[in-house]
Amino acid sequence: MQIILQRVQSTVDRSSGRRAESAVASPASRDPQTAADQPNAGERPAVPPQVNGDQLTIRPRINGEQRSLAVTPGTTLLTALREHASLTAAKEGCGQGDCGSCVVIMNGRPVNSCLVLAAEADGAEITTLEGLADGERLHPLQEEFCRRWSFQCGYCTPGMVMSCFALLAANPDPTEAEVREAVEGNLCRCTNYRPIIEATMAAASRLSSDHGPAAPTIDSASPPVACEGRG
Ligand code: FES
Ligand code: FES
């Protein structure tokens, strides 16, 4: 167990150094100030994960739902999400913290989930791309990505959206330079980033006019946008 906890600590240090410092609200509470006050925000759980043979049982709260996942000590958060929680939006690209395709929100901060051990997520609040929409209704940021064709192959898009979501939660009125900075850890081989930046700026404008500058939230005023391929 000591080895596991040492590895957890080392992983957290690497992952926290990779992403922006913004704090992000969970879907249940998208107010960044409220999120900062949440239990576990930026803290390790007081009780270590349950160990059963070579399996750990972790209990993160994912997209507002309490989950119990059996993983091995070396399982990453990305693998836990994709293979144990059936949440496949976050993608593995490089697997070493360079591409950003695996970005999710953990305890209010964007992290490269390929660099976080699942054990570290025990008791954590996790938000993935699947947690942004309200049923069939996409989050305004997702809608703007669709409207402006801010993707081609789409492999980078879940991580890109989560990085932009984190930015808007922390900074509802970003400059273009701040959007560029927010996605500098997200690699996209298909677009030239221009439609991504435009979509994020448009979403910021919508969110500010619809809800005030406090926080991104589900936009219930406009009709849902279907995000389909070009056909
Ligand atoms: Fe995690 Fe590339 S897969 S940063
Ligand atoms: Fe293909 Fe970004 S849309 S890598």
Read off the pLDDT of residues 193-214 as tens digits, 9 standing for 90 and up: 999 999 999 999 999 886 544 4
Residues 20, 112: Cα–Cα separation, whole Å: 11
Mean pLDDT over each residue of the chain, to the nearest integer: 80
Q: Does pTM surpass 0.95? A: no
Contact 128, 87 (CB under 8 A): yes
Which residues, at least 6 apart from 26, have a Cβ–Cβ distance to it below 8 Å?
A: 35, 38, 61, 64, 105, 108, 125, 127, 131
Q: What are phi and psi of 58, to 5 degrees?
A: -110, 150
Token pair recorded at residue 186: 């997200």
- Report which protein residue has its CA nearest ligand 2's atom 4: 188
pLDDT tens-place string over residues 158-190: 999 999 999 999 999 999 999 999 999 999 999
Report the candidate in 110, 89, 90, 103 with the shortest Cα–Cα distance to residue 24.
Answer: 110
What is the architecture, at CATH level 2, of domain 2-131?
Roll (3.10)
Specify the pLDDT at position 225: 55
Q: Is the pLDDT of residue 149 over 70?
A: yes
Query: How far is it, in rounded angstroms, from Cα 187 to Cα 169?
Result: 21
Q: Which atom of ligand 2 is nearest to the CA of 156?
A: 2
Ligand 2 touching residue 191 (CB < 6 A): yes
Q: What is the CA radius of gyration of the chain?
A: 17
Q: Residues lining ligand 1, judged by CB closer than 6 Å? A: 92-95, 97-102, 112, 114
> Both tokens of residue 42?
């930026």
Cβ 149 under 6 angstroms from ligand 2? no
List the chain domain ranges.
Answer: 2-131, 140-211
Ligand nearest to C-alpha 161: 2
Q: Verify whether ligand 2 is closer than 6 Å to residue 145 (CB atom).
A: no
Contacts of residue 181, defined as CB under 8 A and 6 or more positions apart, other chains included, come to 20
Q: Are 157 and 145 in contact (CB under 8 A)?
A: yes
pLDDT at 215 over 50: no
Q: In what order do the strands lie in the sheet with 55-58?
A: 50-52, 55-58, 69-71
Asked whether 108 and 149 are in contact (CB, 8 A), the reply is no
Are the folds of 2-131 and 140-211 the same? no
- List, in sequence order, every beta strand (DSSP E) within 80-159: 103-106, 109-112, 125-127
Which of these CATH numbers, 2.40.340.10, 3.90.226.10, 3.40.50.410, 1.10.150.120, describes 140-211?
A: 1.10.150.120
What percent of the chain clears pLDDT 90, i.e. is strictly above it?
Answer: 66
**At residue 157, what is the residue type?**
T
Instruction: Tell the residue nearest (CA) to atom 2 of ligand 2.
Output: 188
Give the whole-angstrom CA distance, residue 102 versus residue 180: 18
